[in-house]
Amino acid sequence: MTMKEILKTYVKKTVRSREKYKELSTIMPGAVGSAIRWFSPYPFFVEKAEGAWITDADGNQYIDYIMGQGPLLFGHANPRSVIEALKQQLEKGCLYGTPTAIELIVAKKIKEMIPCAEKVAFANSGTEAVMHAIMVARAYMKKKKIIKFEGVYNGHYPEIWVSVTPPLEKAGPYENPTPVPSSDGIPENSLCNLIILPWNNSELLEKAVKNHKEELAAVLLAPVNTGSGVIPPKNDFLKTLREVTEDNGVPLIFDEIITGFRLARGGAQEYYEVIPDLAVYGKILGGGMPIGAICGKTELMDLTDPSLEKNIKTPIVGTFNTNPISMVAAAALLDEIKNDKGLYQRLNTKCTTLVNEMRNLIEELGIKACIEHVGSVFQIYFTDQEEIIDYRSAARTDKAVYNKFFITMLTKGIFLSSRSFGRCFTSTAHCDGEFSKTLQATEESLRLCAHKIRR
């Protein structure tokens, strides 16, 4: 089946979405609130969602593996405790401009769950949290340079939204990648304080930290590279990173926006047994509401304390910070996680089973593809490489085949990441019935694409 025929099927099934897209795009650029939601020929428009399923404007139902780009650990409109907490809070008011007791409750729960969380502060998004963590590290160290990793997304804070998906012809040598802005609106002179390193290379990491320790404010990374799909750390990369930063007196910042409360109660810190100096959270923490959190060692976090006059140069400010809507959702969500002792074993085991079955299909059909996976996050890559270890190996995968696979799956009622550098999530709402339908659609879709991707 040709791509043209597949697209024709999609367009035929999504007439109302197409109409809404055309009208909205005349007012709102791209007709999407976030660029990641757009795909060709146009995204479908959602009417409602429940559990593992979403329903579009035409009444088509899809098994959803996007889960709001990761926040929905318990599926759509779940858990009910979060829904009820939101209803009750809305009756009391949605914004006060002064502290509430719920902030204490949420902060204490985070401190209890997150290994590095001696103190906690809040923001409105993961991007804001990363921005504040970097400012804290720079204020503490009185230095400017940050090490970040090629292919890793740490939010769209301009100074850090760099070398996420750089064209390989602009990316420079592997050993010393060139910082490449992810937007034409990022000034070139803002790149001078970044050092870009390849993911999963402990030798180059150790060398860079030692060579630049006199000017380094921090090393920033997501413990799992989810900016290039899903690329887990290999060969004790994180443990080496922690040892090197400690030995050289450089703060380590974990961007746990995706891994936080996703891999384990204590996030990647618990999962990989590596404890950073600072960590940032978002997505799952908000229970579907916007939120960001920064936590870490007292000596670092106290630099944001407005009651200490000497620290007023690093305050955390924001009109909607700790708004009661986000706070009550977070409190209810964290209670669900705390009270379900077997949550992560079930969640991760179910996803592993799905991934292994998909790998079996790939092997049986002789497809040139591999799946990278950790916890309840996975991504399929069409490639003859046996594994994906960094951004550049991900960049060499067949994006055209992935696009065809994505649209084909969509016409069969399975909503995966629309981008080859994206990621798919399972939730507690995904059960055997959803997995069975997904595997059937996967086999059919792989067969339709197989003439181009057989080994």
Determine the average pLDDT of the residues in 32-36.
93
Determine if the peptide bond prior to 29 is cis (ω within 30°).
no
369-374/377-382 β-pairing:
antiparallel
11 and 98: one domain? no
286 and 421: one domain? no
358 and 243: one domain? no
Q: Which of 284, 318, 339 is the last residue of a domain?
A: 339
Q: What are the angstrom distances between the C-alpha of 397 and each of 160, 229, 383? A: 25, 11, 5
Classify 407 as helix, strand or coil: helix
Q: What are the angstrom distances between the C-alpha of 71 and each of 49, 76, 223, 436? A: 14, 10, 17, 24
Angle of CA points 224, 228, 234, to nearest 5°: 40
119-123/292-296 β-pairing:
antiparallel
303 and 396: one domain? no
Looking at the structure of the chain, the number of domains it has is 2
114 and 203: one domain? yes
Residue 311 predicted with pLDDT over 70: no
Residue 313 predicted with pLDDT over 80: no
Determine the average pLDDT of the residues in 90-116.
97
Determine the average pLDDT of the residues in 201-218.
97
348 and 310: one domain? no
- Structure confidence at residue 319 (pLDDT): 96
CATH number at residue 196: 3.40.640.10
300: nearest Cα among 251, 256, 255 = 251
Tell me how far apart the alpha carbons of residues 384 and 454 are, in angstroms, rounded to a whole number: 9
Q: Which of 321, 339, 357 is the last residue of a domain?
A: 339
Band (pLDDT 50/70/90 cuts) for residue 450 is low
Which residues are the active-site residues? Answer: 153, 255, 283
160 and 235: one domain? yes
pLDDT tens across 254-279, in order? 999 999 999 999 999 999 999 999 99
108 and 194: one domain? yes
pLDDT tens across 384-422, in order? 999 999 999 999 999 999 999 999 999 999 999 999 999
61 and 135: one domain? no
CATH number at residue 368: 3.90.1150.10
Q: Which of 310, 339, 368 is the last residue of a domain?
A: 339
pLDDT tens across 39-86, in order? 999 999 999 999 999 999 999 999 999 999 999 999 999 999 999 999
Determine the average pLDDT of the residues in 435-452.
89
139 and 211: one domain? yes
108 and 70: one domain? no
Range of the domain at 110: 80-339
224 and 334: one domain? yes
